[in-house]
Every structure is written in structure tokens, then in C-alpha cells.
């Protein structure tokens, strides 16, 4: 009888507990070390065997019932709490954007997306690599051995020496992604790799951090003609003109042979730059056929495979396309500048819908 009234009492308390803390208090008061049920368990020791068996079974039953009731109540309370929280966190996504809080898409993000769209349409995938690189991927594997003069030209940011004497660095170009991609995949390869790059350099047209976009195609028959066609298609789509004149100038990069720098034609109309007209030239990228040593470093047989690569300044083509004069302003996070040069957030560039 006593146990029955205890049970009824405890179950009432469980049902009445209005939050998890109250429920925990009921648990401690019953099943806790000094709880009412635990105390009764202790008294079993003083009973005779027959009496103990009976009382023990009844107590264990009660204990299980209470534990079950506690667990069920806990679950119900948690569900109710979640329900209440979801109600308070409800947002109405159909509400219009507040005009004063409207941000803009940075020209670099915009151009990045445009470039991905254009090359995506040509069958290129997007590849990535880390900003903190090792010497192998940034230099050696790209046919720039230690002591090569090209290393000086890169104004590299180095990290402190590691115990083994090696130093990590901030990648000076996106070309290490060529190596990483070749090592990680099999030809045919067709990728672009947009991303941040770093050089210790700062003036009107140089910032210590800037963005490049790398291109790499490796397969059995790809040749210079393909490179020229891809770049011409890109320029027309990107600058949104029917025709761009391109000038391929012989140049030198350790990782391509032959190497070419590419200029496009432009003219000025009242201070504004017009791409694809006139006969002044603007350099926009470096390119060439991937050097056999680089293909070999990428774990691919240069006797069987060949291809082209190019590297373009993303910020630079953004400046050209949108008539932005000073590169440094790109990275000053000045809201007035962003409101002037930025893009509407919901206007995602697509080839079908228009790039800008
Ligand atoms: N990595 C070169 C640079 O930063 C650009 C480049 C890439 C040139 C690929 C040729 C081929 O200047």
C-alpha cells in the first residue's frame, strides 16, 4: 500500500514538472543517492530473505516505472522546447529586403562568377589549391629549380624555416594548382583555378594579395590552335563584344614552352576604355604549351600527353571590364566604393541570362 501511494505521488510529480530542471529535481528526490526509492532499497538489507525477495521485486518494478516516466517526460519537454524555439525563430522569407541594409556583390566576386560561367560552358571544371604552398608545387615542379632567377621575380612571402630547413610560402601564382590537379587526376584534364595569390609588391596596379585565374588543358592532341581559340572565345564572351583582336607575343615562363603573352585591342572614348575597338594594346595574360618537365612533375607521361596553360589577373580584367581605375580600392572595403562598383546580390551572371 505504502509503495502504491509513493508511486502515485512520484508519477504526479513527474507529470507536473514543467521544465527539465524541475524534472531533474524529481529524479534526484526519488532515484538519486538519497532519494525516496533509493533509501527504501537500502532498507532491504535489514529484512529477512523471504520478505526481502518480495519487497525487492516490488521496489525494482517501481524504480523501472519511475525511470520510464522520467524519460518520457524529458522527451516531451524537449520536443515542446524545440517547438517553442522554432516558433520564435520563424522568419518570413517573403518580406522585401530593407533598402538601407542592401549590400552589393564585389566586382571580384562578380567577375570570378562570370569567368566560371564562361569556362564552364566550354567544358572546364573548377579546381582549387591552398594559399599556403610548399616550394615544390609553387616552384620546383613548375620547372623553377632552386637558384632559378624567376624565383627572385616573384617577391615571395615566406614563412619561418621548419626544423628540416624547408619553408612554406604564400603561393605567388595559381600555377601550383596545375601540379596538384595533375597529381590528383588522369588526363584528359580541363580545369580553371581562380583564387588568391600573394606577392610582396604594392602600388597603383599591385597589391600584396591579388586574384588570378589559371587554366590547364592536358590530353593527347591539344595544341596552340586550341589555346588561341579558347582565349578568343573567352575574351569575346567576357568583354561582351563580337570581336576582339588578340596579339600573341613570344614570351618566357619556365613552365611553358613555347610561351606567349596575350594582348587585346582597345581604344579610349572620353576617358572610357572600349575593348575590341581601336589599335592600342593591353596585356591580359600569360600562356603557353605546358613544359614536358611540368607534365612529368605532375606524374603524367609527357611522351604521350601535352596541353596548354594560361594565367590571368582576375582583378585586372575586372578593372578593364568595369572601368575601375585603382586596384588598391578593391581591397579597402569602402562601402561607398562598393555601392558604386558593386553588383546587385540577386543578379547572378549566367550565359543565358547575361553576364552583367
Ligand atoms: N603563372 C604565371 C604568372 O603568374 C602566369 C602563367 C600561367 C603563364 C600559366 C603561363 C602559363 O605570371
What are 176-204's pLDDT values in tens digits? Answer: 999 999 999 999 999 999 999 999 988 87
Distance (Å) from CA 343 to ligand 1 centroid: 29
The SS3 assignment for 224 reads helix
pLDDT for position 1:
52
Please state the domain extents for the chain: 2-88, 107-341
Contact yes or no for 214/173 (Cβ under 8 A)? yes
pLDDT for position 356:
63
Distance (Å) from CA 230 to ligand 1 centroid: 16
What are 71-112's pLDDT values in tens digits? Answer: 999 999 999 999 999 999 888 888 877 766 677 899 999 999
CB atoms within 10 A of CB 208: 14
Contact yes or no for 266/276 (Cβ under 8 A)? yes
CA gap 312, 284 in Å, rounded: 6
Angle among Cα 119, 178, 261 to the nearest 5 degrees reads 70
* Mean predicted confidence (pLDDT) in 217-228: 96
* Mean predicted confidence (pLDDT) in 286-304: 98
Q: What is the pairing mode between strands 272-275 and 280-290?
A: unpaired
Distance (Å) from CA 282 to ligand 1 centroid: 16
Distance (Å) from CA 231 to ligand 1 centroid: 14
Nearest residue (by CA) to ligand 1, atom 2, is 311
Pocket of ligand 1 from Cβ distances under 6 Å: 173, 175, 214, 253, 256, 286-288, 309-311
CATH of 107-341, one of 3.40.50.300, 3.30.930.10, 3.40.50.1240, 3.30.559.10: 3.30.930.10
Distance (Å) from CA 311 to ligand 1 centroid: 4
Res. 9: pLDDT tops 80: yes
- Candidates 173, 176, 192: which one to mutate for ligand 1, based on the most atoms within 8 Å of Cβ? 173
Distance (Å) from CA 286 to ligand 1 centroid: 5
- Give the position, in ligand 1's atom list, of the atom nearest the Cα of 287: 10
Contact yes or no for 291/216 (Cβ under 8 A)? no
pTM of the complete model beyond 0.85: no
Q: What is the pairing mode between strands 158-161 and 132-133?
A: unpaired
Helices (H), ranges, the chain: 2-16, 20-30, 36-43, 49-88, 107-121, 135-138, 150-153, 176-184, 224-239, 292-297, 314-322, 335-341
CA distances from 158 to 135, 161, 206 (A): 10, 9, 19
> Per DSSP, what are the bridge partners of residue 282?
264
Residue 147 — φ and ψ, nearest 5°? 75, -5
Nearest residue (by CA) to ligand 1, atom 6, is 311
Which residue, among 344, 116, 66, has the nearest Cα to 237 in the 3D structure?
116
The SS3 assignment for 239 reads helix
Amino acid at each position: 500500500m505504502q509503495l502504491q501511494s509513493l508511486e502515485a505521488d512520484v508519477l504526479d510529480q513527474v507529470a507536473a514538472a514543467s521544465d527539465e530542471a524541475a524534472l531533474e529535481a524529481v529524479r534526484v528526490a526519488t532515484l538519486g543517492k538519497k532519494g525516496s526509492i533509493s533509501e527504501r532499497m537500502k532498507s532491504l538489507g535489514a529484512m529477512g530473505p523471504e520478505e526481502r525477495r518480495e519487497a525487492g521485486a516490488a521496489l525494482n518494478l517501481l524504480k523501472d516505472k519511475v525511470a520510464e516516466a522520467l524519460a518520457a517526460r524529458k522527451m516531451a519537454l524537449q520536443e515542446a522546447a524545440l517547438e517553442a524555439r522554432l516558433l520564435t525563430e520563424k522568419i518570413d522569407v517573403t518580406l522585401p529586403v530593407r533598402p538601407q541594409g542592401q549590400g552589393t556583390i564585389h566586382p571580384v566576386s562578380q567577375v570570378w562568377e562570370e569567368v566560371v560561367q564562361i569556362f564552364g560552358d566550354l567544358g572546364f571544371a573548377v579546381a582549387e589549391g591552398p594559399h599556403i604552398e610548399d616550394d615544390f608545387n609553387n616552384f620546383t615542379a613548375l620547372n623553377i629549380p632552386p637558384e632559378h632567377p624567376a624565383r627572385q621575380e616573384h617577391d615571395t612571402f615566406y614563412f619561418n624555416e621548419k626544423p628540416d630547413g624547408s619553408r612554406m610560402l604564400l603561393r605567388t601564382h595559381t600555377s601550383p594548382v596545375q601540379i596538384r590537379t595533375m597529381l590528383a587526376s588522369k588526363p584528359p584534364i580541363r580545369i580553371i583555378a581562380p583564387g588568391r595569390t600573394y606577392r610582396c609588391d604594392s602600388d597603383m596596379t599591385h597589391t600584396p594579395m591579388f586574384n588570378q585565374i589559371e587554366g590547364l588543358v592536358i590530353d593527347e592532341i591539344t595544341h596552340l590552335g586550341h589555346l588561341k581559340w579558347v582565349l578568343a572565345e573567352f575574351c569575346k564572351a567576357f568583354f561582351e563584344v563580337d570581336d576582339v583582336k588578340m596579339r600573341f607575343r613570344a614570351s618566357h615562363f619556365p613552365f611553358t614552352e613555347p610561351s606567349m603573352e596575350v594582348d587585346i585591342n582597345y581604344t579610349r572614348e572620353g576617358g572610357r576604355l572600349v575593348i575590341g575597338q581601336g589599335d592600342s594594346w593591353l596585356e591580359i595574360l600569360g600562356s603557353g604549351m605546358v613544359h614536358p618537365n611540368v607534365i612529368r612533375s605532375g606524374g603524367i607521361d609527357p611522351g604521350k600527353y601535352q596541353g596548354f596553360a594560361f594565367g590571368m589577373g582576375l582583378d585586372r580584367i575586372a578593372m578593364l571590364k568595369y572601368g575601375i581605375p585603382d586596384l588598391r580600392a578593391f581591397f579597402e572595403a569602402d562601402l561607398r566604393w562598393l555601392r558604386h562598383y558593386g553588383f546587385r546580390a540577386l543578379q547572378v551572371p549566367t550565359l543565358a541570362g547575361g553576364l552583367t
